[in-house]
Amino acid sequence: MPAAKLSVDIKNDFAPKYAIVKGKEKLVKELKEKAANADEILLATDPDREGEAISWHLATVLGLPLDEKNRVKFNEINENAVKKGIASPEKSIWTLLMLSRREEFSTDSSAISSARSYR
């Protein structure tokens, strides 16, 4: 979420606003270029709500369809686990994503409330 700004869009049902972290613009540009030339993109992050959030952010930034089976999950990093995950990609679990976004928004709202109390 953008620093030093209100990170929700009040006019759009309080939708969260996100920004590329300062200094990561070059990395995001490179990822977009590689994604544009890829036949397939699989997102392999931790199988928890933070992993779902990272996958969602990547999919959104890269312009990937959010309803495709492009999520690879494994709990260990070894050849068999990785091959098994790649062989059976899944759709993202939106419940976990919503939990992550709720946590983000809650933390951000708390920071705003705290800042107001120091005025």
The pLDDT value recorded for residue 12 is 80
Phi and psi, residue 104, nearest 5°? -55, -50
CA separation (Å) from 67 to 6, 24, 78, 93, 104? 29, 26, 28, 10, 22
Q: In the CATH hierarchy, which top-level class contains the domain 8-108?
A: alpha beta
Domain extent listing, the chain: 8-108
Radius of gyration of the chain (CA): 17
Residue 113 has pLDDT above 60, yes or no: no
83-93 tens-digit pLDDT = 998 999 988 76
Mean pLDDT of the chain: 78
> How do beta strands 71-72 and 43-44 pair?
parallel
